[in-house]
Structure 1
Amino acid sequence: MAVVAERRLALLGGGFSTDNDGLLDDWLLDQVRTPRPRVCFVPTASGDAPAYVEQFLAAYQSRSCEPSVLQLFRRELDDDALRTFLLSQDVVYVGGGNTANLLAVWRAHGVDRVLREAFERGTLLCGISAGANCWAEGSHTDSFGPLTHLPDGLGLLSGSVCPHYDSEAGRRASYQAAVATRVLPGGWAVEDGVGALFTDGQLTDSVTRAPQACLYRVTPDGDSSVKERALEQAMPCRLLVEAHQPTPPA
């Protein structure tokens, strides 16, 4: 009988571009069952910003993995080579930036189709900010300037995603309003410092590098007597600690 690959996604509220301790990056690599995973960084949402690429390479070249970068604004691979390259990766890590632009560029180059195929084959897809938004059916974004809802995404994760839930003014209230009025489906609100792993559509691990940071499930209130209100449920998160630190008592 053929073995069906697990379909896995990780939403990141931090990592090499925002944190100095590397805890979320280490946690991410721990999810891959190979000694030296191939990790491809996709910085499309930032317009392939050179400084962002350098940050990634500096962080991952020192780890036990094989890092690479897929740049689309200076694309060098034809369609067949691009597909082969992406399907050879163990992890595809999508950077932050503009979610709407990211989706448009991917579709123009056919990257969205290849990532679906990679997902079905077991590649771990992940990302921060726009790189977390893109996997869901919809998201909360500032792609158009003011905070708003974007009912668009690859739909590999059911529902919606809101990044920076605790760190950007107006995020919490605006996302809850979008879910309450059902312009976005219920979904996941990610505070900075959090990592959330989904396996076959189900939350299977949630961690945080900051004791106060949390992952939330946000859904419309099912009470018919209450109009336009969202419910917010905090999900348990394991606290990540640096290797030289003792694990806090349970």
Structure 2
Amino acid sequence: MTHVPPPRLALLGGGFSTEEDGLLDDWLLSHARTPRPRICFLPTASGDAPTYVERFRAAFRTRPSCTPSVLPLFQRDLDDEALRAFLLAQDVVYVGGGNTANLLAVWRVHGVDRILREAYDRGTLLCGISAGANCWAEASHTDSFGPLTSLPDGLGLLAGSVCPHYDSEPGRRPSYRSAVRSGALPAGWALDDGTGALFTDGRLTETVTRVPGAQVYRVEGDGGVRERALPCRLLAPAPEAGP
């Protein structure tokens, strides 16, 4: 009988699109269910931007430890059956940044939201940065509509809310704290750039950072706002092989 790992997803504060050291990407691949995982990039939130797709291909095609692919939806080639089979065959689904609200709308039109839920239950590691982190939660803090605002919408695979770019974009931190304090957003997780958070069956099981001092936070309301920094393991480059 084939072993099915528990449902897992990862929120990323960086990766191939913002960094060149590959530390967060290596950490991500280390949690895949197979030694040579099939990893599929969904660039939907950026409108399948060609430069974003090429950055993904450049970052992963030279890695002997994975088999990369890309799923475009704005020029879709696969029928419903082939689309489902393709996504369910992936070990990792990596969602790029962009517009969270548009991402969710396009996925629902194509039925990708339902397939990703099925893949999650079957052990595919779901992950992403920015909009690609927001989408997995019940709600998120987003600039999808211009100014920063609350989006009480998401796939709901992770309870609560998510706020990316917590330390790098002006207004993110006070705006998210205010939204949680007022109840506009449920309690949730905020990520500094350069960090990663792994959730197993809905529970936080690991936090890492490639930047000393960058952190993942738990932010809760209930009459006020409480922000708790979580310890993050500092990622380090693998030692170079000897001669």
Q: Same fold (TM over 0.5)?
A: yes
Question: Match for residue 155 of structure 2?
Answer: 154
Question: Match for residue 105 of structure 1?
Answer: 106
Cα deviations by residue, 1:147-175 (Å, 9 ceiling, x for unpaired): 00000000000000000000000000000
Matches of 2:69 and 2:3, distance apart in 1: 28
Matches of 2:32 and 2:201, distance apart in 1: 15
Question: Match for residue 57 of structure 2?
Answer: 57
Question: Match for residue 189 of structure 2?
Answer: 188
Shift of residue 33, structure 1, vs aligned partner: 3.2
- Partner AA of 1:161 in structure 2: V
- Partner AA of 1:168 in structure 2: E
Matches of 2:27 and 2:4, distance apart in 1: 24
Question: Match for residue 22 of structure 2?
Answer: 22
CA gap of 1:91–1:2, structure 2 versus 1, over 3 A, is: closer
Indicate if the aligned counterparts of 2:92 and 2:126 stay in contact, CA closer than 8 A. Answer: yes
Shift of residue 62, structure 1, vs aligned partner: 1.2
CA gap of 1:33–1:5, structure 2 versus 1, over 3 A, is: closer
Cα deviations by residue, 1:55-97 (Å, 9 ceiling, x for unpaired): 0000001111000000000000000000000000000000000
Superposition map of 1:30-69 within 5 A: 30-63=30-63, 64-69=65-70
Shift of residue 32, structure 1, vs aligned partner: 1.3
Determine helix, strand or coil for the equivalent of 2:227.
Answer: strand
Question: Match for residue 228 of structure 2?
Answer: 233
- Partner AA of 1:234 in structure 2: A
Cα deviations by residue, 1:216-243 (Å, 9 ceiling, x for unpaired): 000004xxxxx4x210000110000111
Question: Match for residue 135 of structure 2?
Answer: 134
Any stretches of 5+ residues in structure 1 without a counterpart? 222-226, 246-250
Shift of residue 34, structure 1, vs aligned partner: 1.4
Cα deviations by residue, 1:81-124 (Å, 9 ceiling, x for unpaired): 00000000000000000000000000000000000000000000
- Partner AA of 1:94 in structure 2: V
| Cα-Cα RMSD | 1.2
Shift of residue 36, structure 1, vs aligned partner: 1.1
1:174 aligns with 2:175: yes
Any stretches of 5+ residues in structure 2 without a counterpart? none
CA gap of 1:233–1:71, structure 2 versus 1, over 3 A, is: same
Matches of 2:117 and 2:66, distance apart in 1: 23
Question: Match for residue 165 of structure 1?
Answer: 166
Question: Match for residue 212 of structure 1?
Answer: 213
Determine helix, strand or coil for the equivalent of 1:122.
Answer: coil
Determine helix, strand or coil for the equivalent of 1:9.
Answer: strand
Shift of residue 15, structure 1, vs aligned partner: 0.2
Question: Match for residue 198 of structure 1?
Answer: 199
Matches of 1:62 and 1:6, distance apart in 2: 29
- Partner AA of 1:26 in structure 2: D
- Partner AA of 1:241 in structure 2: A
Determine helix, strand or coil for the equivalent of 1:59.
Answer: helix
Q: Give the % identical residues.
A: 74
Deviates further, 33-42 or 105-114:
33-42
Superposition map of 1:68-147 within 5 A: 68-147=69-148
Shift of residue 2, structure 1, vs aligned partner: 8.2
**Taking structure 2 as the reference length, what is the TM-score of the superposition?**
0.96
